[in-house]
Amino acid sequence: MSGDPSAAPRKLVLTVIDGLKPAMLERAVEQGRAPILKAIMERGAYVDDCVAAFPSVTPVCAASIATGTGPDQHRIPSMNWYDRAERRYVEYGSSFGASRRAGVMRSLTDTVYNMNGRHLAPEVPTVFERLDDAGLRTAGTTYLIYRGRHRHQIAGETALARIAGAVFRESVMGPRELFYADLFASRRTGCRGQLGMPGQRDQHSGCVGSYLVEHDLFDFLLFSLPDNDAFSHRNGPHATVASIGNADRQLERLVQAGGGLERFLEEHAMIVLADHSHAAVERRIALRSAFDDWDLAQPRPNGARGGEPDRGGEIALGLAQRSAMIYVLDEERRARLTARAAREAGTVPGVDLVMRRTAPREGAIFGERGELRFSPGGDLVDLRGRRWSVDGQLETLDARVEDGRLLTPDYPDALGRVWSALTCPTAGDVLLSAAPGFEFVDWGGADHLGGGSHGSLHKSDSLGALLWCGTGPDSRDAREQWTLQDMLPMVTRHFGLDAG
């Protein structure tokens, strides 16, 4: 689909529409609300079950898209997690209440600076770094993972940016053209992002993206459209036809800046994908209440100013929408407390699956349907071609074995995703996945009851949309199961680079 192999590759736009649910994309196309997405689908390939990382929350998934790896390698474990080395919670903005609980400035610093500068594994190159090293012109609009080879100073183009610049003074490394809210802007475009406020982010990307297209400033553009996620959190996943239509209008701005659809697609290849999907939230899980009799580490917002750690305890809880983690902080009793915490978590209503390592090369998953132990290597092969040994009840994952193949349709790529999450160096000792309809209340007391959310291992919020044209294989059949980790190699191969 990439055309003459001897010709220079087309410019490539990788668009991430946050939380793009395949059924809602299809509905938006059918209703005529997404003509550009429809054109890409008709000219290329469409996957309605691309598998997210686990936990299926935005920081983890964004890192997997940008690096082509899982959390075991990129080391971004969740939206909210506990840093054992610094003895404190890391909060990437689950809610304003959660950020206040952790300390607003500390939360912003972790999200804007530390996620890329300290938390993302330095030895794992991002798509920007790979393409920068190849001499390609890289560009990106506001996206959580932006690390590249070019240094950028805080922008001072707007009054809001100048106010923020009084606090955020450090430079960052990003793509050649970096636009991150109003904080970083590699050139003056006249576009305003209101510091990345929900509802303003897509239009800022559209404004910046159309400028970049009009002035021919990139070979590769990561075009981020995050507002669909906020809309779904508020209104529920089945109301997102409107927000998908808004995202499509930003794509149309690129197309018009490039001379219209036909001319634009002659010069640009397109990949569009969701980082995860969304599931409806009907009930809350108050996990902190379930551990009232434990000595629980508490976030301390003053820690950001005084450099003090959060108040310690036996355990820490990482609360991230439809996923959660338990960190055992008492090293002397770690094995015993991990087993006890896992047992108690399994009794909490709304907790679907409990996961932990039982040996260096063995994991365990259990819930109401039973327990399954597994380890890499063995006779069973999953849809990604990995081999596993399993022992216990397949019903735990509603799994089945057919001709030596392990199939887990309700929990896509289950063992691969769980093992990657369990072996992430910054993850908790116990991982939790919420049942359909449930969400964990975060540290600020917030949830999305009546709206949509994500984070679990379940297919309801783990399967997102993926479509492409002008690049990649001729059809979705090139892979039996697509995941976010396939994006980086698709991009590098488009430019004739080694994906390894």
Is 358 found in the same domain as 271?
A: no
pLDDT at 382: 98
Is 314 found in the same domain as 192?
A: no
Residue type, 66: A
HSE-up (13 A, CA, CB side) for residue 20:
31
Is 136 found in the same domain as 151?
A: yes
Residue type, 76: I
Tens of pLDDT along the chain (500 residues) come to: 444 555 789 999 999 999 999 999 999 999 999 999 999 999 999 999 999 999 999 999 999 999 999 999 999 999 999 999 999 999 999 999 999 999 999 999 999 999 999 999 999 999 999 999 999 999 999 999 999 999 999 886 655 555 555 566 789 999 999 999 989 999 999 998 765 566 689 999 999 999 999 999 999 999 999 999 999 999 999 999 999 999 999 999 999 999 999 999 999 999 999 999 999 999 999 999 999 999 999 998 754 444 566 777 899 999 999 999 999 999 999 999 999 999 999 999 999 999 999 999 999 999 999 999 999 999 999 999 999 999 999 999 999 999 999 999 999 999 999 999 999 999 999 999 999 999 999 999 999 999 999 999 999 999 999 999 999 999 999 999 999 999 999 999 999 997 55
Is 36 found in the same domain as 119?
A: yes
pLDDT at 162: 53
CATH number at residue 228: 3.40.720.10
Is 302 found in the same domain as 214?
A: no
Is 159 found in the same domain as 171?
A: yes
Is residue 454 included in any domain, yes or no?
A: no
pLDDT at 8: 82
Is 483 found in the same domain as 377?
A: no
Alpha carbon distance 261, 274 (integer Å): 22
Alpha carbon distance 183, 181 (integer Å): 6
Domain count of the chain?
2
Is residue 5 included in any domain, yes or no?
A: no
Task: Give SS3 for 319.
Answer: strand
Nearest to 417 by CA among 360, 473, 459: 459
Contact 128, 148 (CB under 8 A): yes
Is residue 291 included in any domain, yes or no?
A: yes
Is residue 20 included in any domain, yes or no?
A: yes
Alpha carbon distance 66, 492 (integer Å): 11
Is 399 found in the same domain as 317?
A: yes
Longest dimension (CA), the chain: 67
Is 211 found in the same domain as 296?
A: no
Is 478 found in the same domain as 445?
A: no
Is residue 3 included in any domain, yes or no?
A: no
Is 390 found in the same domain as 481?
A: no
Q: Which domain range does residue 364 map to?
A: 284-449
Is residue 2 included in any domain, yes or no?
A: no
Is 147 found in the same domain as 41?
A: yes
pLDDT at 195: 58
Contact 411, 55 (CB under 8 A): no
Picking from 429, 449, 469, the residue at the C-terminal end of a domain is 449
Alpha carbon distance 450, 280 (integer Å): 7
The token pair at 197 is 């406020």
How far, in Å, are 60, 74, 213, 261 from residue 427 at the CA level?
11, 12, 40, 44
Is residue 1 included in any domain, yes or no?
A: no
